[in-house]
Homo-oligomer: A and B are copies of this chain.
Amino acid sequence: MTSAPDDTKSSADNWPANAPLDAWSKFAESDAEAGFIISENFRRYEQRDDVFNRAWWDEAVMSDDVVAFYAAHQRPEPRKGAGYTQWDFALLNASWSVARDYAARGMPDGRREGFLDSFDTFVPQAETRADLPPIAETTARIKQVAEFLGADLFGVTEYDERWVYAHAAEISSKTREEKENVSMDGMTNVIVLGHQMDRKLVETYPSALAAAATGREYSHEAAIVTSMASFIHGLGYRAIATTNDTALTIPYAIKAGMGEYGRNQLIITPQYGPRVRFSKIFTDLPLAHNKPIKFGAHETCSICDKCANACPPKALPKGPPREGGENRSAILGVTKWTSNAEKCFGYWTKLKADCAICMRVCPYNKDYSKWTMRLFQKLLGTGLRRWMLKLDDALGYGKRVLPLDWWN
């Protein structure tokens, strides 16, 4: 064990990318419980290595298609082909508008909230701390507030510095240089919120229309996570509201009991399958922790290649989880299914809208308000899963719905 981190320094200083692995031995038990396999090759992730940032500085990703992809969000060029009309792009860009309004407001100060920087909150941290009931009741109240504010899923896990980006990326630098990340001093917990994507829109992936399902949840996330952090500030505790900025999200979501990690790079949840986005709040408010859950999704992914087979650029891996990946966007030292982010994003830029075919075709992408689908999920979690996967094919689930059908 190394000595306790000096909490007067930023978390990036406390936990340099090359920290010895035993610094994190305190997580060994919960890692095992969550199925995390982490080797000595592990390095904290650099945000500038994610493919959306590499699009601005790395020639392996930059292209005319990338420029056109981003331009389409400002000035769409509708084209023939169902799903890319002016109506579709109008909904796509409208769905993003709240998230983009939040991202825009700090730009004069070099802050891109929700993408590269954590959110400012309307309510500053109160000077006095509220009286807290017993921890289970405090946690139940926080969950109730999250649901009141519109979160679809709620979980809590311990703060884990490994998933905080080694550095943030600097928006005002064209090359997205590293900059110091927000300080996590004293943080003890991470609240993870799940935001359900619209099922009917997801059925129309790939299309500009379907991408509105993503945009709407980015907007929900921005609104809900800033409100939640404002609430915790009102109680007198620290709260850092984040979406894609500041830290990876999936490891926290798994430990917070949201679901299992899938071959399609998405968390498979019992409630909505893979059709969920996540936001998170770092806090020092004392809260009870959830446990990771298992319902057979990992075993299903192990024998199911529907997403990998359906992926047009063949960006998804076959076979068992492995360490590393095919390019610098991969997380190092973690054994998992890892996509080729360059191939994935390259396909998005050709479409000029995001693709989530891997979400649409997933056998877990079902309407779980129906008991038949809940039964289907149960059986997928058993030794019958090969038969259930065949049934899924036979019944034609996961087929693309025409975007025009959504409008009419």
Is A68's CB within 8 Å of the partner chain B? no
Task: Give complex CA distance A126, B141 in Å.
Answer: 45
Contact B126 A234 (CB under 8 A): no
Task: Give complex CA distance A81, B226 in Å.
Answer: 28
Contact B228 A219 (CB under 8 A): no
Given A223-B219, A407-B141, check contact A123 B97 (CB 8 Å): yes
Task: Give complex CA distance A363, B128 in Å.
Answer: 40
Main secondary structure of the interface of A (DSSP, over half): helix
Given A93-B123, A234-B91, A407-B144, check contact A86 B219 (CB 8 Å): no
With A86-B236, A95-B227 given, can you name 5 additional A-B contacts, CB distance below 8 Å? A90-B231, A94-B227, A95-B149, A97-B227, A141-B407
Contact A94 B231 (CB under 8 A): yes
Contact A408 B216 (CB under 8 A): no
Is A330's CB within 8 Å of the partner chain B? no
Chain B neighbourhood of A137, CB < 8 A:
408
Chain B neighbourhood of A87, CB < 8 A:
130, 141, 235
Is A23's CB within 8 Å of the partner chain B? no
Contact A91 B231 (CB under 8 A): yes
Is A76's CB within 8 Å of the partner chain B? yes
Query: Interface digits, A233-247 against B, CB 8 Å rule (1 contact, 0 not)?
Result: 111100000000000
Chain A positions 323-371 with a Cβ under 8 Å from a chain B Cβ: none
Task: Give complex CA distance A236, B86 in Å.
Answer: 9
Is A284's CB within 8 Å of the partner chain B? no
Contact A86 B234 (CB under 8 A): yes
Chain B neighbourhood of A71, CB < 8 A:
none
Task: Give complex CA distance A141, B382 in Å.
Answer: 42
Query: Interface digits, A287-299 against B, CB 8 Å rule (1 contact, 0 not)?
Result: 0000000000000
Is A198's CB within 8 Å of the partner chain B? yes
Contact A101 B100 (CB under 8 A): no
Query: Interface digits, A212-231 against B, CB 8 Å rule (1 contact, 0 not)?
Result: 10001001000100111011
By size class, the interface of chain A is 35 or more
Given A87-B141, A122-B97, check contact A148 B231 (CB 8 Å): no
Is A28's CB within 8 Å of the partner chain B? no
Query: Interface digits, A111-134 against B, CB 8 Å rule (1 contact, 0 not)?
Result: 000000000011100101011000
Chain B neighbourhood of A93, CB < 8 A:
122-123, 230-231, 234
* CB-contact partner of A223 in B130, B131, B223, under 8 A: B223
Chain B neighbourhood of A21, CB < 8 A:
none
Contact B122 A234 (CB under 8 A): no
Task: Give complex CA distance A223, B226 in Å.
Answer: 13
Is A102's CB within 8 Å of the partner chain B? yes
Chain B neighbourhood of A128, CB < 8 A:
86
Contact B122 A85 (CB under 8 A): no
How many whole Å from A97's CB to the nearest CB in chain B?
4
Contact A149 B94 (CB under 8 A): yes
Contact B97 A226 (CB under 8 A): yes
* CB-contact partner of A86 in B76, B91, B130, B148, under 8 A: B130
Chain A positions 13-54 with a Cβ under 8 Å from a chain B Cβ: none
Chain B neighbourhood of A97, CB < 8 A:
121-123, 226-227, 230
Contact A235 B90 (CB under 8 A): yes
Query: What are 18 contact pairs spanning A and B, CB under 8 A?
Result: A76-B234, A86-B234, A90-B123, A90-B130, A90-B231, A91-B145, A91-B234, A93-B122, A93-B234, A94-B149, A95-B148, A97-B121, A98-B98, A105-B105, A148-B198, A148-B212, A148-B216, A223-B223
Contact B408 A86 (CB under 8 A): no
